Structure 1
Amino acid sequence: MLRATVGFAVVAGVAFTGTVEAGAQSAQTAESRKSAAEQVLYYNHSYGVVDRETADAVENSDFLREFANFEVRTTSSGDLTWKGRYLYGGQTYIELFGTGDLPGQDANFGSSSVAYSTEHDGDLAKVSQGLRDQGYNKLDEFLQSRNFGDGVLVPWFDGVQFPVADYPYDAFGAWAMEYREEYFSDPRSKTGPASYPGDTSRQRYLPDTYKDHQMRDLTRIRFAVTERDLNTQLPLFKAGGLDIKQVPGGVLVKDGLTTIQYDVVPADKVGLKQIQMSLNASVKDRHVERIGNSTLVVGPGTSAVWTFDKP
């Protein structure tokens, strides 16, 4: 899902200015979590706009089709249509675009975004309330629908973000989302049954076909973003109860499975830098695959690292 209407704000209360005191949370686990806010958001997916050579190489890579549950898909939602290159895990996924694939400034090389989702029906309202508790009363709370090709829009998910009309951004944004039961109930969604009352989980949404490949899930993603864009999104991460920790040069945001590393850089240095993945089984040998201006290293062991170079 691309950022269609995401907006961004400069945030004073939890800005990255050498400390992230207001945004810092303790470690988030099901067994022991001592953060001030209840965790209700979990990494769902993200996207990055890479150079055209790399996007085309990803799209045509035979290796990626073996390595992961990989798909090139054109999606329609309302009056927007986009083609993405998707790698799906058991609970997380990522989509890659080439320069020029998206509308407006989001088509620029280095543009990126992250979406977090809820696991229980009704938790998105807690995120909105958490933002209002921080003083953000002007929110874009929206319904995203999907067209499966017959022209009929099916409710897909509810979302919340900062309204684009009010807040400028450089190249990065984020939003929170909650899948709709109407989408799960549509057989064309190919989603699973609920595992518990109010199940809106990523595991229900994504297929189990990742088990037929090496890649299991995304464990760490590294983005280079401007300070303004990072400052903008910290209140959303805080409202979702995510673990926010300052590190030299940036911030780590953890949900218990996937860590997002944000490096603060000038505007001309932004973009997706690296993806780390867990594997379904340990591999003995190290495999290096060059894909456009990127390098995917698989093994040895139970992990893989995909590094993107600026062309």
Structure 2
Amino acid sequence: MITVIALALAGAVQGGAGTARADENGTATGRQLLFYNHAYGVLDRATADAIEHSSYLRDFADFQVRTTTGSGGQTWTGRYLMGRETYFELFGVGDVPGKDGTLGSAGLGVSTERAGDLPTVIERLRASGITDPVEFQQTRDFGDGVPVPWFDAVFTTDQYDLFGAWGMEYRPEYFADPRGNTEPASHPGDVGRERYLPDAYRGHPMRDVTGIRLAVTARDLANTVPLLKAGGFAVRSLPGGGVVAKGGGTTIRFDSVPLDRVGLRQVEMSLNQPVSYRHVERIGHSALVVGPGSRAVWTFEEQDRPGGAGQGS
């Protein structure tokens, strides 16, 4: 589906950005404009391979392994678990080029539901002190060598350690291309997540992502908080420097950690139907616990990484 958007920051995006700060609580005024779309994490090779070949995951979710070609011919190979409106993608070390393929790298996309809301987010960013947000358009090549506009994106900065977050709005050209397998608009200006994703989730237990937990550096967190506030998330600081952002049915938690401890930690999901049992599925260095009830939690073990790798950009 999407992304390693951080690839854009490593090459295609030019220009600077204002410095973000994460020392205030609260949120921008007005209705919520951005909603959790998806997140990704780069895992150790053994875990990524176990996920790719897991028969359980193919039953549990609308699960795909796919290589995507984006802007500039850059490609990435991900393992996707897709729900009704939300999804997440998992990579192994080296599945994306450069430091973005480093163990512990991660990203977060938050998207609009109505056409034209992304410019309002950008206005809010500027009003909050992000004087030069980085704007970018991602394309997708379906295999014929002709890039199709996919979505517009905004970043608070082009400087990051191993985590990046971006606001995004799907393009009408993408919805108009039948190869995208998207749904008709349910209302004028519909560029929403449910329209973008297929309905194959209905044949599997997994319904949607309700929570995501990521360990990131203080710098990457400081660059992320203004975007979440501009998008209308309710943002609350935690002891130790972490942050919880809530809105639109998804809770996003960030733990502030040293660079050698960053990474995807946990994904919480709702189920289409409650279950009476508790099932634990070990997948590489991770454990997916399904039930009892209408909830599943996938926890990823912290892996040893070389200290200081991937610093700065």
User: Above 0.5 in TM-score?
Assistant: yes
Greater CA deviation, 183-192 or 133-142? 133-142
Counterpart residue number, 1:51: 44
1:217 counterpart (200, 203, 208): 208
Counterpart residue number, 2:307: none
Query: What is the rounded CA distance, in whole Å, between the counterparts of 2:126 and 2:56 in structure 1?
Result: 46
Counterpart residue number, 2:239: 248
- 1:175 paired with 2:166, answer yes
Give 5+ residue unaligned stretches, structure 1: 26-34
1:145 counterpart (139, 142, 150): 139
Counterpart residue number, 1:65: 58
Query: For residues 1-311 of structure 1, what are the structure 2 equivalents within 5 Å?
Result: 1-3=3-5, 4-6=7-9, 11=19, 14-16=21-23, 20-21=24-25, 24-25=26-27, 36-78=29-71, 79-164=73-158, 167=159, 169-249=160-240, 250-311=242-303
Query: What is the rounded CA distance, in whole Å, between the counterparts of 1:236 and 1:6 in structure 2?
Result: 16
Secondary structure of residue in 2 paired with 1:224:
strand
Counterpart residue number, 2:13: none
Secondary structure of residue in 2 paired with 1:5:
helix
Closer, same or farther in 2 for the Cα pair 1:154/1:10, shift >3 Å?
closer
By how many angstroms is 1:140 displaced?
1.9
By how many angstroms is 1:138 displaced?
1.8
Greater CA deviation, 58-67 or 231-240? 231-240
By how many angstroms is 1:163 displaced?
4.6
The answer to whether the 8 Å contact 2:41/2:91 transfers is yes
Query: What is the rounded CA distance, in whole Å, between the counterparts of 1:223 and 1:177 in structure 2?
Result: 20
The answer to whether the 8 Å contact 1:6/1:174 transfers is no
Greater CA deviation, 101-110 or 133-142? 133-142
Secondary structure of residue in 1 paired with 2:156:
strand
By how many angstroms is 1:139 displaced?
2.2
Query: What is the rounded CA distance, in whole Å, between the counterparts of 1:232 and 1:205 in structure 2?
Result: 27
By how many angstroms is 1:152 displaced?
1.1
Query: What is the rounded CA distance, in whole Å, between the counterparts of 1:174 and 1:129 in structure 2?
Result: 17
Amino acid at match of 1:59: E
Query: What is the rounded CA distance, in whole Å, between the counterparts of 1:234 and 1:176 in structure 2?
Result: 12
Equivalenced residues, count = 293
Residue-by-residue CA offset, 1:140-198 (whole Å, 9 max, x unaligned): 2121110001111111111111352xx3x211110011001111111100000000000
Query: What is the rounded CA distance, in whole Å, between the counterparts of 1:222 and 1:104 in structure 2?
Result: 24
Residue-by-residue CA offset, 1:1-32 (whole Å, 9 max, x unaligned): 112123897846x424xxx33xx13xxxxxxx
Query: What is the rounded CA distance, in whole Å, between the counterparts of 1:83 and 1:132 in structure 2?
Result: 34
Query: What is the rounded CA distance, in whole Å, between the counterparts of 2:233 and 2:131 in structure 1?
Result: 21
Secondary structure of residue in 1 paired with 2:281:
strand
Amino acid at match of 2:267: I
The answer to whether the 8 Å contact 2:209/2:270 transfers is yes
RMSD: 1.6
Give 5+ residue unaligned stretches, structure 2: 11-15, 304-313
Counterpart residue number, 1:28: none
The answer to whether the 8 Å contact 1:10/1:229 transfers is no
The answer to whether the 8 Å contact 1:37/1:239 transfers is no
Query: What is the rounded CA distance, in whole Å, between the counterparts of 1:239 and 1:276 in structure 2?
Result: 24
TM-score, scaled to structure 1:
0.91
TM-score, scaled to structure 2:
0.90
